[in-house]
Amino acid sequence: KMLETFQHDNPKNKNYLILLSRSYAMYTFGFLEWNMMKYQGVDEGKRTQAEVRAKAFYTKGKEYGLQVLNRNAGFEKTLTKDLDSFKKALKGLGRGYMPALFWTAFNWGSYINLNKDSPLAIAEFPKVEAMMQRVLEIDELYNYAGPHMFFGFSFGSRPAMFGGNPGKSKEHFEKAILSYQRKFLMSLVLYAQSYAVQNQDKALFESLLNEVLATPAESLPEQLLANQMAKFRARWLLDHSSSYF
């Protein structure tokens, strides 16, 4: 709320907008999606409440990011046009737009992931992929190799008939994991949760998640909270592995 107040008082300050987009993304992924996971099969009311809030927060995060991106005339003009025109416009967005591109795509893609039963939401995903591809081209290591984690999860969590690609998923995850010497633990959790489950590789699933539990959260001090959240998820996934295999 404080950030939103600052932004309201400084509507042209893009840094506040990017920070808001990032904050909504991180809070929703880190806490609300975790609540959806831990209340699954335990308290459906709380799980549903977390899901409703998650969808609303991801939408807010996306909208704050779009306020920055729409300052680029080419982006704004092609956002509702065909995919090829949109991709051409993205080429005109350089490093200065990269954080807004990443967090907008993160929020938007995460929202779609929670709305897989909506054809309208699914139809928007190619543009989200194009945005994240542009981030990958500019800086593949941005936000702890975030673009690689995005594509690893995207390709790894879908069946082939819906655009899944195990080979590409594995390649992206391995790049993300090795980029930070296996110390950014959420990348290992997402690898297990998507690729290992989709390919029914229980040995890899257990190996990755046990590695997360065995690695000190402090191994990457600046991501202590994220690593701790990764450990919570790893423990839950191992305890509920029978639901996946």
With H, G, I as helix, E, B as strand and everything else as coil, classify residue 138.
helix
Residue found under tokens 């300052």: 71
Contact 164, 156 (CB under 8 A): yes
- What confidence category does residue 170 fall into, taking pLDDT thresholds of 50, 70 and 90? very high
The full length of the chain comes to 245
Mean pLDDT of 24-41: 97
- Indicate the range of 2-6, 11-15, 55-59, 187-191 predicted with least confidence: 2-6
Triad 110, 116, 118: Cα angle to 5°: 115
Mean of per-residue pLDDT scores for the chain: 95
Q: Helix or strand or coil: residue 62?
A: helix
- Tell me the average pLDDT across 199-212: 99
What tokens appear for 229 in the block?
Answer: 């959240």
pTM of the model: 0.94
- Domains of the chain with CATH codes: 1-139 (1.25.40.920), 143-245 (1.25.40.920)
Q: Quote the pLDDT of residue 2.
A: 53
pLDDT of residue 4: 60
User: For position 5, what pLDDT does the model report?
Assistant: 57
pLDDT at 13: 78
H/E segment holding residue 108: helix 98-113
**Averaged over 147-160, what is the pLDDT?**
96
Q: Is the pLDDT of residue 3 over 70?
A: no
Provide the pLDDT confidence category of residue 7 given band limits of 50, 70 and 90.
Answer: low
The reported pLDDT for the residue numbered 60 is 97
Place of tokens 């190996």: 207
Query: How much of the chain exceeds pLDDT 90, in percent?
Result: 92
Give the mean pLDDT of 160-172. Answer: 95
